[in-house]
Amino acid sequence: MSGNFVDRLMRLAGECGIEIDREKAELLGNFKDEVVEWNNKMNLTALVEEEQFIKKHIIDSLMILKNIDFHQGTKLVDVGTGAGFPGIPVKIMRQDLEVLLMDSSRKKTEFLKYAVKKLGLKRTDVLCARAEEAARNIGYREKYDAAVSRAVSALNTLVELCLPLVKVEGVFVAMKGEDPEPEIEEAGGAVAVLGGRIRDVIPYELPGGLRRHLIVVEKIQETPEKFPRRPGIPEKRPLF
């Protein structure tokens, strides 16, 4: 990893009000190196150019921590984490969190298992599963204080994948793009049916002016047992 990467990351994050100390910036740099190396063997992510990686992967992931106050030791699941976003940068910055990185792709979870070990991240598990199946397992259902998810599906589908994993009084944070309003409108019925309530829509900006939003859904009651439906159904026939 180049010292240049570390300096650039610390500077760009600082411009967004995110302070990263050198030790953590180096760990984030080591993670980037692993992603790039594995990307030569398998397609993990299209974004590997240094500045883009810093802005759109690392800083974007850390916007969750800037905007959401997770208590010490929060149990967090990242649904459809892919190459580890936002889950791994969040875990590197907040090592007190207990994190589950979940993805349905075996090759991605093999990479994640390797990366978690290589980076020495404690209390970080990797699960190869579809969220629809994991949420039917009592070991995962309503066991998390928080779920997060980026770039997995539209909000009306995503709430069916994520809310069943969250405890009552916990939160689900969906990372969305420039204009989340149409998705929010479409998902209103699904959020209510699944035991949630949209608490907040938080706008933020990445360096370079890219506008994004966090949609914060609080879980106000248990998710009815019939949800989530079978794998694939939440996407094929979103609740309304």
Which residues would be at the binding site for ligand SAM (CB under 6 A)? 79-82, 85, 102-105, 108, 130-132, 150-152, 161
What are the Cα distances from residue 138, in Å, to 76, 87, 127, 135, 160? 16, 22, 15, 7, 16
Q: Is 181 annotated as a binding residue?
A: no
Tell me whether residue 74 or residue 153 sits nearer to ligand SAM (CB atom): 153
What is the nearest approach in angstroms of ligand SAM to the Cβ of residue 131?
Answer: 4
Lookup: tokens for 153 = 């599906």
What is the nearest approach in angstroms of ligand SAM to the Cβ of residue 85?
Answer: 4
Distance CA 164, CA 154 (A): 16
Tell me whether residue 195 or residue 234 sits nearer to ligand SAM (CB atom): 234
What is the nearest approach in angstroms of ligand SAM to the Cβ of residue 22?
Answer: 25
CB-nearest residue to ligand SAM: 82
Lookup: tokens for 190 = 């699904």
What is the nearest approach in angstroms of ligand SAM to the Cβ of residue 105?
Answer: 4
Q: Is 123 annotated as a binding residue?
A: no
Q: Are 200 and 181 in contact (CB under 8 A)?
A: no
Characterize 146-160 residue by residue with b for buried, 16 or more Cβ atoms within 10 angstroms of its Cβ, and e for exposed: bbbbbebbbbbbbbb
Residue numbers belonging to the annotated binding site: 80, 85, 103-105, 131-132, 150
